[in-house]
Structure 1
Amino acid sequence: MNVRYVLFFLLSASIFTSCLGDTGNNPDPLELATVYVSNEGNFSDASGSITSYDPESGSSLQSAFEEANGRPLAGIIQSVKIRGERLYIVLNEANKIEVTEVGTLESIGTIEMSTTPTDFELINEEVGYVSNLYDGSVTVVNVQDFEETDTAIAVGSQPRSMVRLGNMVYVANSGSGSANTITVVNASSDTVMDTIEVGAGPAEIALDVSNRLWVVCSGKIAYDENWERDPANDVPGSVYILDGGSATVIDSIQTGGHPSDIALNNEGAEAYLIDEAVSVVDMNTYEVKEARFIDRTFSSIEYMPTEGRIYVGDSRGYSQNGQALIYELSGTAVDSFTVGIAPRIFHFIVN
């Protein structure tokens, strides 16, 4: 999360910070900001989409990728990363990565994958990493030729979110709640350099401006033989905070529920965590200072510095369009707009 570039920046639940560009302490005016919402879509219809929203006018464009390219994404969005002037859209079902220009969403190329991709991370101008859900690996891809290479790095069970910090890439091994590790890959040699134990089911990683990794561990929801909820055997979730430079655990927060996403307000030293409600975490003390800041749950969350507001996504299931809601830091809802099916990630672009 929290990536700053000269022309663009991205803040998103699963997305990390590069040391390139400014720190965001002097944000651009609101009228220069654009919001992209990545919508997962319905699996049976492969209906992943991107909604474009203008905060100044309040206007939105559904299926913005389709409008720009005359074709749908035709897949289920697992993650989206903005790196430089490129946007990388990771889709399973179609098993591909669509690469577009950030400002126009016009297609630059497509990386066809032989695996089921879940996340992407850019290593340098030629190389990218792709985490693969079902074979416990990270595949090396050529982002100039838009090709999958023969190099695969064994990590952990069901890897999902990835974050690069210098030559280190942190990979969250979710294991559908049965795994509890972060694999640290040396991007210079494509080898595993360390494994860190965290809470059960790590799935999302956010990186703050102090190079701390905020790892959202969802735990595991238990079911009985009739596939009914079995709370007595649930494995509760947590948030682990890691030192990105030394690859060590700083602290952890036991939430008691099953957290799913986090947004970082670096300037205000607050993190906003989706669990049974939206809670506020003090980023200095690692304590929950307001357990039910917004007394409902959502599918995604992000903080927009240019507005000083929180954006959340309400999926409303997989059979109808979702909704994005905008909250002040007081917890008051101030606006909303329609998005696609199952809103997953917010991206704030400064032109």
Structure 2
Amino acid sequence: MKHLKLKNLLMALVAITALMSCHKDKNDVAPTPTAGIFVLNQGKFGGNNGTLTYYNYADKATTADIYASANGAGLGDTPNDLKVYGSKMYVVVNVSNVVDVIDPKTAKLIKQISFDKKQPRSVAFYKNNAFVTSYDGTVSVIDTATFAITKSITVGRNPEQLVVSNNKLYVANSGGLGATPDNTVSVIDLTSLTVTKTVNVILNPVAISADAYGHVYVISNGDYNTIMPGISIIDNTTDATTSQNTVDVGYGSPFVVNGDFAYYLSGTGKVVVYNTKIQVISSANFITDGTTFKAAYGLNVYSKTGEVFVSDAKDYKSVGTVTAFDKSGKTEYTVTTGITPSNIVFLN
């Protein structure tokens, strides 16, 4: 009898161990992304704790850091930009000086491109090339087939975001690391890959976007003292600035164009809606259900549904959130992310 009880006890222990092992494996193995959103979390500057959160539409499950789960290592220090182009996803990791090329269907690293001491910031695409700005005052041209850096183009000081419009690349030169910020946008011809013009805008340009009507929008932070933040508009035919207006715009807010409307964050955390067709603000706040944020930081719009996604960095040192709003401005759901959630991209 004692032998039978001991045998049963051993069998129970084996079963429990097996169950525990299965549970552990389930948590350690990254899920296979299908349809959902990726959120890039910058972490703390210098903390080497950037992460990539994934939220699955189907089962409403959140993977806190799908990159680490898939690759067994973290993203690095202060990832600054995230974009999907074709079948690949690009992560620009500023302080770690790399650009990671990832398979969005598995979250596994395909290639890591070194930007030794250049401090890469943002990425944009045109045909077979990826263009990456770096704080050393250059735009690197990357062949998207081989991942080789084929050219370096000198632009202004400390370039930030960049956008393609009318077969040209517009680069916002912030000069943000110097005593005096820059106030220019470099225009690069995408055939010759040379700078053809430098356009003056409001001081400290950081975010840039374009619409279907020939307008390039540049959000500037000003000098944080006497020159206020604002938006400059460049004509993509003449490459001349057509207007410069002081507006209530949040620090580093993106300017997201979706059809005839664009969205940006105000200094008070509201989502401002701008009509690109008639060039007027159509709504001082897209959000209609009273939702507020402690530190609205990132923004994107899902074009198929008109949903607007806003990230809240909270206190910039603990986990943040991303909230989805339907096309009427009402909350649908909120996802817990990593520290300082910024860029939001969609996987269909």
Q: Which runs of 5+ in 1 are unaligned?
A: 1-31, 222-232
CA separation in 2, counterparts of 1:265 and 1:191? 26
Question: Once the two structures are superposed, what CA deviation does each residue of 1:247-287 show, in whole Å capped at 9, x if it has no partner?
Answer: 33344442145453245463463534333232222223332
| 119 and 263 in structure 1: CA distance in 2 versus 1, 3 angstrom threshold | closer
1:191 aligns with 2:184: no
CA separation in 2, counterparts of 1:348 and 1:169? 24
CA separation in 1, counterparts of 2:148 and 2:262? 40
1:316 aligns to what SS in structure 2? coil
CA separation in 2, counterparts of 1:328 and 1:282? 19
1:275 aligns with 2:267: yes
Assess if the C-alpha contact under 8 Å between 1:301 and 1:310 holds in 2: yes
Assess if the C-alpha contact under 8 Å between 1:209 and 1:266 holds in 2: no
Q: CA deviation at 1:309?
A: 1.7
Q: Which of 278, 287, 290 is the equivalent residue of 2:280?
A: 287
CA separation in 1, counterparts of 2:254 and 2:154? 27
What's 1:155 paired with?
Answer: 155
What's 1:261 paired with?
Answer: 253
**Which one has the largest radius of gyration?**
2
What's 1:62 paired with?
Answer: 64
Question: How many residues are treated as equivalent by the alignment?
Answer: 305
What's 2:341 paired with?
Answer: 343
Assess if the C-alpha contact under 8 Å between 2:53 and 2:65 holds in 1: yes
Q: Which of 305, 322, 325 is the equivalent residue of 1:324?
A: 322
CA separation in 2, counterparts of 1:342 and 1:101? 23
Assess if the C-alpha contact under 8 Å between 1:161 and 1:172 holds in 2: yes
1:180 aligns with 2:162: no
| 256 and 311 in structure 1: CA distance in 2 versus 1, 3 angstrom threshold | closer
1:214 aligns to what SS in structure 2? strand
CA separation in 1, counterparts of 2:137 and 2:121? 11
Assess if the C-alpha contact under 8 Å between 2:166 and 2:214 holds in 1: no
CA separation in 1, counterparts of 2:142 and 2:260? 37
Q: CA deviation at 1:325?
A: 1.1
Assess if the C-alpha contact under 8 Å between 2:305 and 2:327 holds in 1: no
What's 1:212 paired with?
Answer: 215
TM normalised by structure 1 equals: 0.78
2:74 aligns to what SS in structure 1? coil
Question: Once the two structures are superposed, what CA deviation does each residue of 1:200-244 show, in whole Å capped at 9, x if it has no partner?
Answer: 2211112334453222212222xxxxxxxxxxx342111223333
1:117 aligns with 2:120: yes
Assess if the C-alpha contact under 8 Å between 2:249 and 2:266 holds in 1: no
What's 2:16 paired with?
Answer: none
What's 1:139 paired with?
Answer: 140
Assess if the C-alpha contact under 8 Å between 1:271 and 1:283 holds in 2: no
| 267 and 256 in structure 1: CA distance in 2 versus 1, 3 angstrom threshold | closer
CA separation in 2, counterparts of 1:205 and 1:168? 13
Q: CA deviation at 1:62?
A: 1.3
CA separation in 1, counterparts of 2:157 and 2:56? 39
| 340 and 284 in structure 1: CA distance in 2 versus 1, 3 angstrom threshold | same
Q: Which runs of 4+ in 1 moved over 4 A?
A: 256-259, 292-297
Q: By percentage of residues, which structure has more helix?
A: 2
What's 1:302 paired with?
Answer: 300
What's 1:333 paired with?
Answer: 331
| 180 and 265 in structure 1: CA distance in 2 versus 1, 3 angstrom threshold | closer
TM normalised by structure 2 equals: 0.79
Q: CA deviation at 1:100?
A: 1.1
Letter in 1 for 2:165: L
Q: CA deviation at 1:64?
A: 1.0
CA separation in 1, counterparts of 2:238 and 2:70? 43
Stretch of structure 1 that moved more, 207-216 or 154-163: 207-216
- Report 1:230-249 matches (<5 A): 233-249=225-241
Q: CA deviation at 1:319?
A: 2.0
- Report 1:73-84 matches (<5 A): 73-84=75-86
